[in-house]
Amino acid sequence: MADRIKIAVIPGDGIGPEIMEQALLVLNAAGEKFGFKADIRVLLAGGASIDEYGIPLTGETLDACRSSDAVLLGAVGGPKWDNVDPGIRPEKALLGLRSGLGLYANLRPAKLFGELSHASPIKGIKDTDILFVRELTGGIYFGKSGEYTSEDLLPDGTPYGNVAFDTETYSEGEIRRILKIAFDAAGGRRRKLSLVDKANVLTTSRLWRKIFNEMAAEHPSIETECLYVDNCSMQLISRPSDFDVIVTSNMFGDILSDEAGMITGSVGMLPSASLGAPGKPGLFEPIHGSAPDIAGTGKANPCAAILSVAMMLRYAFNYNDAAHAIERAVSKTISDGYRTADIYSGRPEEKISDLCEITLAIIKNIG
């Protein structure tokens, strides 16, 4: 009898529903081959939830996610909701899901598919395979913030006027638990771990570095280094293949993982996993946005969503064979020349495909 797994599915906005449809086709194909059955519950979050309920994330949706084994998300947001109150913007759904599910670790692989090296802005790039481990529920995105009016003057006499502030706070516990995941990940890869911070300026970064150095002494088989975030942003361009695992804070990880995503050719190829305590549901999603300008055109690239399914099968269910099969199928499909618009360069060996065609090729390659 097939295993049954409960998946909460949030298609979201823009291209989210169409890439999710393709990802679920691949999930079902993998289930047929490897002996599991996915029970799907479709939920609203983001702009779609604002349209239906007036808020980006309802308590009912969050409860449904909590009672599932894992959550698959497409994409949220778009210009349609640019003028809503900042407190109910679609992106608030992501923050609500992360905090509500206790998802403190974001894993973002940035892997270069060799056939797509020409799509990278870096000439001659090769062998790039980086895993970002980003702290997800602390730092400036979750710190105290606000706005007030001040009658004080700047040194040159200019009035302060309106003042806005966002506060970064990190505890030792938050830092240690994300660093443990990073050290464990590095131990299963090429055994190199880079901490990215701004310890020459930020007190929070100095605490990160102190704890990192303590834990590095406990892991002598792992090569470690510390880089300032501005230096790392340059090193990612000049020597991307030298990096293995990069661990960093919430905001730095948000920025740097997007940078690394672009140097691998297209964010349309990159998945992510957000994890919390063992036994609790994780959230799996492509790193790209909702791309409303191409929604409904068939041009969207479903590969990142499909690879997010593979990450879900690996991290939520330990279905490593099924995860590998999906990843190999995506790689084989790219090797066979299938290209959506974002990764098509017009080379003779390439064939332009819509999202349905490339998905069918991936399913065929799962076997």
254 a catalytic residue: yes
Residue 318 makes CB contacts below 8 A (sequence gap 6+) with none
Catalytic pick among 141, 170, 315, 338 = 141
User: Would the pTM of this model clear 0.85, i.e. be above it?
Assistant: yes
- Give the pLDDT of residue 61: 98
Residue 44 main-chain phi, psi, to 5 deg: -105, 140
- E strand segments, the chain: 3-12, 36-42, 70-75, 105-111, 129-135, 145-153, 159-166, 192-197, 223-228, 245-248, 271-275, 282-286, 338-339, 351-352
pLDDT band at 262 (very low <50, low <70, confident <90, very high): confident
What residues are paired with 110 via a beta bridge? Answer: 130
85 a catalytic residue: no
Amino acid at 191: R
Lookup result for tokens 């001040």: 150
For 321-366, the pLDDT digits (tens) are: 999 999 999 999 999 999 999 998 888 999 999 999 999 999 999 9
Residue 132 makes CB contacts below 8 A (sequence gap 6+) with 106, 107, 108, 109, 110, 245, 246, 247, 248, 253, 256, 257, 260
For 112-140, the pLDDT digits (tens) are: 888 888 888 888 888 899 999 999 999 99
- Give the pLDDT of residue 86: 84
Catalytic pick among 184, 258, 336, 354 = 258
- Candidates 339, 331, 342; CA nearest to 357 is 339
Judge contact between 291 and 304, C-beta under 8 A.
Answer: no
Give domain 104-135+168-271's CATH superfamily: Isopropylmalate Dehydrogenase (3.40.718.10)
Catalytic pick among 92, 254, 315, 319 = 254
Residue 11 main-chain phi, psi, to 5 deg: -60, -40
**Distance of alpha carbon 76 from the chain centroid:** 13
pLDDT band at 79 (very low <50, low <70, confident <90, very high): very high
For 195-208, the pLDDT digits (tens) are: 999 999 999 999 99
**Distance of alpha carbon 350 from the chain centroid:** 28
Catalytic pick among 39, 51, 63, 230 = 230
pLDDT at 247 over 80: yes
- Give the pLDDT of residue 1: 60
Q: DSSP 3-state assignment of 211?
A: helix
Indicate the fold that domain 1-101+281-367 takes in CATH: Isopropylmalate Dehydrogenase (3.40.718)
pLDDT at 110 over 90: yes
- Listed by start position, the domains of the chain span 1-101+281-367, 104-135+168-271
DSSP state of 81: G
Catalytic pick among 13, 69, 198, 315 = 198
- Give the pLDDT of residue 119: 80
Judge contact between 316 and 103, C-beta under 8 A.
Answer: no
Burial of 80 (0-12, 13-18, 19+ CB in 10 A): middle
**Average model confidence (pLDDT) across the chain:** 95
* Both structure tokens of 124: 């001659």
Please tell me if the domain spanning 1-101+281-367 has the same topology as the one spanning 104-135+168-271: yes
141 a catalytic residue: yes
- E strand segments, 27-100: 36-42, 70-75
258 a catalytic residue: yes
244 a catalytic residue: no
- Give the pLDDT of residue 117: 85
